[in-house]
Amino acid sequence: MTRSSFSHPHARAILKPGRERSLLNRHPWVFSGAINQIEGDPQPGDIVAIHDATGQMLGSGFYNPHSQIRLRLLTFSTEAITEIFFTDRLKTAAELRARFLSSKVTAARLVHGEGDGLPGLIIDRYGSVLVAQFHTLGMTNLRSRIVDLLRRIFTPIAIVERSPALKEEGVTASSGILWGKIPHSSWADSSGNPGWLEVVEHGVRSWVDVLGGQKTGMFLDQRDNRRRVAKLAAATNDMRLLNCFSYTGGFSLHAARQGAMTTSVEISAPAQDVARKNFLLNDLSPVRHRFETADVFDWLRGCNERYDLVVLDPPAFVKHRSHLEQGARAYKDINRLALGLVEPGGLLMTCSCSSHVDWSMFQKILYGAAREADRPIQVISRHGQPLDHPFSLYHPEGEYLKTFLLRVNTTN
């Protein structure tokens, strides 16, 4: 194991006077306006030392002159950024999951970016296959070294990359097998796609496409909410569930196994096909359940039925702060429509995965939706992301998933 430094040997970023406060408070981002000078001619993606205006070293991080987030800290100390550093961070992340996640769950997140002290790196595990996403130029430049470490630490059968395009980071989309071979599955024969894997979550079996599915193949951050839906279904006789933005049917599957009758609304026909196959995989007849291939907004506007539980798990309507007003309006509209379909005494589980929409704003949006729907609403509970998606207390931007469980009261 090498002890040589990954950092640029001469480069350093010097902050403006008084702009070190956020780093002293352990926030991992430094924006362009806080930097006074860059010395040593580092290249985009290099790891550089960071100093305050007096010359005191505050830490080290990735440097990218093309991003508004000019520096992303790896450490708030003077420790060297070596292979040992990355090995320790990866092992620490793995130990957290091993301690708290059930061995019966075969799909989980192993590394969650800043939440695990590795900005720009996402690692998800699907059985014996790892799927990596590189979200920063710095991590992208270390791709081959990260793959070597993943092979050594986790001994996977294959490592797949599913990195999105990030214009602000200068990163182009990249997808494919980085190392190894994806294990054979029965579906690979019939589909011609070698990326299909079967995973298990709380006893529910699902097909996951690690080469072409959404995100890294599955929305792992909704694991706890899927289990909550299963418990609610088990406690309600003949529950009628409406699952909006259902993708491959995760919430529907968990509820159907507890006897619920489910309606899954999803605009993607291929995703609906996978959902039906997932029902068959769990010995559930898809014929007894509804799969509506439609735009969710349009379908809700035309629906006159009532449901005991409606699940809203839409895509991020606010991907950038400049989209906040438009996205907030979309969240209000979709929740207003959904609340109109909940039976009195029924429930709405509604989610936002937009990091720019905090808890307070989301609650205000739901208040507006409830007023427009003219429904009396109780807040039953609130839930964040699961433990394999941790965020730093000093980096609130890492808390992106927010879920409200609401009840439509039977009295006004």
Listed in sequence order, the residues at least 6 apart from 4 whose beta carbon sits closer than 8 Å to its beta carbon are: 82, 83
For residue 127, which amino acid is it? G
Cβ neighbours of 280 (radius 10 Å) = 11
Angle among Cα 382, 28, 156 to the nearest 5 degrees reads: 75
353 catalytic? Reply is yes
> What helix, strand, coil percent values describe the chain, rounded to 5?
35, 30, 35
User: What CA–CA distance (Å, rounded) separates 349 from 157?
Assistant: 37
The token pair that represents 112 in the structure block: 């969650």
Contact 71, 61 (CB under 8 A): yes
- Nearest-Å Rg of the Cα atoms of the chain is 23
**Active-site annotation holder among 244, 303, 351, 353:** 353
Secondary structure of 351-398 in HEC code, one letter for each residue: EECCCCCCHHHHHHHHHHHHHHHCCCEEEEEEECCCCCCCCCCCCHHH
C-alpha pair distances (Å), 262 with each of 86, 286, 289, 313, 397: 45, 10, 5, 15, 34
- Dihedral, CA of residue 385, residue 73, residue 319 and residue 296, to nearest 10: -30
- Would you tell me how many other CB atoms lie within 10 Å of the CB of residue 192? 7
- Position 193, amino acid: N
- Whole-angstrom distance, CA of residue 196 vs CA of residue 253: 18
Neighbours of 57 (CB within 10 A): 12
Residues 6+ apart with CB under 8 A from 54: none
What are the residues facing 242 on neighbouring strands? Answer: 263, 310
Give the integer Cα–Cα distance in Å for 244 and 229: 13
CA–CA separation, 254 and 76 (whole Å): 42
Give phi and psi for 150, each to the nearest 5: -65, -40
Active site residues: 353
